[in-house]
Amino acid sequence: MAKYFGTDGVRGEANKTLTTEIVNKIGRYLGDYYQKNGKGKIIVAKDTRLSSDMFESCLTSAIISQGCDVYLLSFATTPALAYLISNQDFDCGIMISASHNPYQDNGIKIFGTDGLKIKDDLELPIESYMDDEFSLDYVEASKIGRVYDYSKGIDDYIDWLCKEFPLDLSKIKIALDLCNGGACFTAKKAFSKLNANYDVINDSPDGININYNCGSTHLEAIKDFVKQGNYDIGFAFDGDADRVLAIDSNGEEIDGDKIMYVLAKQLKQEGKLKGNKLVTTVMSNIGLKKALQENDIDYEIVAVGDKNVVECLRNNDYVVGGEQSGHIINTYTGYFGDGLKTALNLLQVIVENDKSINELSSAVKVYPQLLRNIRVTDKQTVQDDDDIKNKINEIADKLKDEGRILVRPSGTEPLLRVMVEAKTDDICEELVSEVIQLIKDKGYEA
């Protein structure tokens, strides 16, 4: 089991839990590995947070010290990087980003030549090197790698997107929240090329305002902007733009569950929904499942994390899946989540059906949901406690098919997440409180 790699790479606070020493080791191992086992070509991109320049410089010098060449995409989005890796001649790609986290955090996401996040067979030896379990020799001076400007890759990515979705968006009034992140360097190019009638907010990255009261985790700004400007639809990206949430003309959220429903239903109508299945995670709302059942669409549930969604899609040859948070994957255009691609895919459905996003997603009646975190001394001990397991089962029996309870550990922090969905907010509050109080009574709270 990976020690440093979570569900989305290695992540931590810059200069505290994520340091240049750690990043140097990741870069040196990858440089050594692909110099010996590949073409020796690695592409590197970054989002707009203050520490990204520092980590880009560190990664670059580490990689070329082991004999690989580095191609710098500079400021970009994770999906732009994933597209270029899987469609051009690179061994690997590295994204410097902590996605939706605040600017103080940063992360290293590593993608293989297929554009997918690397698996344990590469993560584990990287971690062994990070723990000084073995050493690596530097290459001799004549074999040191080179550094190339590859900023043209952004235009290659935009050209591809616009060919996949050759839309005329002039008749739809669109609002975009670019989150002061990577989307600032991609979204405007794509929407302009598609003749869109659009306006943007949060398009002035300064290193510290990425994700700050904006983007897909803070929808208040885009909701107000859409309502005040009488827009037909709004889209809010996260820091590295691998996810997106939509806003309808009333300023109401269209979350990942509703987006997945719209896309799955459209694919079914077109006879393209392989296996008649949508892949969701345990976090998807029960309202999505009921809407799918009403439309004779089956679903498969996996653990949280886009890696788990991708694995299920690939293993079963399904074509669409994602997360409530807006990380959506349509395999007809690649196995990587892409907020901009998802936005264009939704607009394509809107144009083809001549219906609003509200009309298209109205079948999904979202059940009230309450999620609370509790910091605990040991996540596994709490999960193994018979009294707590019995309480969870008791609540599940009580809710039956009119709700659900989910208690799961955080993948990156010493937290347990307690979530209940039910018919009313009061029921959610009561049942979540029962579990949280039991954990406290048992002395597990940290």
Domain housing 321: 254-361
Tens digits of per-residue pLDDT, 261-306? 999 999 999 999 999 999 999 889 999 999 999 999 999 999 988 8
Q: What span, in angstroms and rounded, lies between the C-alpha atoms of 332 and 77?
A: 20
Q: Is the pLDDT of residue 420 over 80?
A: yes
Does a structural domain hold residue 195? yes
In a domain, residue 191? The reply is yes
Same domain for 143 and 15? Answer: yes
Quick one: pLDDT at residue 91? 96
Last residue of a domain, one of 226, 251, 276: 251
259, two tokens: 């987006």
| Residue 4: inside a domain | no
User: Based on the domain organization, do 421 and 350 belong to the same domain?
Assistant: no
Give me the numbers of helices (H) and strands (E) for the chain, helices first please: 15, 18
- pLDDT, tens only, 174-212: 999 999 999 999 999 999 999 999 999 999 999 999 999
Task: Please tell me whether residues 144 and 246 are part of one structural domain.
Answer: no
How far is residue 159's CA from residue 164's CA, in Å, rounded to a whole number? 9
Q: Based on the residue annotation, tell me whether 284 is a catalytic residue of this protein.
A: no
Task: Give yes or no: residues 168 and 122 share one domain.
Answer: no
Quick: pLDDT tens for 104-130: 999 999 999 988 888 888 999 999 999
Q: Is residue 3 part of a domain?
A: no
Contact 272, 279 (CB under 8 A): no
- Residue that finishes a domain, picked among 123, 151, 179: 151
pLDDT tens per residue across span 312-352: 999 999 999 999 999 999 999 989 999 999 999 999 999 99
In a domain, 376, yes or no: yes
Same domain, 356 and 430: no
Q: Name the band, by pLDDT with cuts 50, 70 and 90, for residue 29.
A: very high
Answer yes or no: do 92 and 53 share one domain.
yes
When pLDDT is averaged across residues 131-139 and rounded to a whole number, the result is 96
Q: Of 251, 270, 301, which one is at a domain's C-terminal end?
A: 251
The distance in angstroms from the start CA to the end CA of the chain is 24
Residue 299 belongs to domain with CATH number: 3.40.120.10
Residue 387 and residue 286 share a domain: no
Does 307 share its domain with 336?
Answer: yes
**Would strands 320-322 and 328-330 be described as parallel, antiparallel, or unpaired?**
antiparallel
Rounded mean pLDDT of 144-173? 97
Name the percent of the chain lying above pLDDT 90: 91
Q: What is the pLDDT of residue 84?
A: 97
Are both 67 and 191 inside the same structural domain?
A: no
Determine the pLDDT at residue 310.
93
User: Which pLDDT band holds residue 1 (cuts at 50, 70, 90)?
Assistant: low
- Nearest by Cα to 48 from 198, 237, 262, 250: 237
61, 97, 99, 325: the active-site residue: 99
Q: Are residues 341 and 400 part of one domain?
A: no
How far apart are alpha carbons 66 and 147 in whole angstroms?
Answer: 13
Which residues contact residue 37 at a Cβ distance below 8 angstroms, ignoring those fewer than 6 apart? Answer: 91
pLDDT of residue 394: 95
Total number of domains constituting the chain:
4
Looking at the fold, whether 16 and 147 belong to one and the same domain comes out as yes
Residues 205 and 277 in one domain: no
Task: Tell me, yes or no, whether 196 lies in a domain.
Answer: yes
Give the pLDDT confidence of 213-267 residue by residue, as tens digits: 999 999 999 999 999 999 999 999 999 999 999 999 999 999 999 999 999 999 9
**Residue 138 pLDDT:** 97
pLDDT-based confidence at 410, cuts 50/70/90?
A: confident
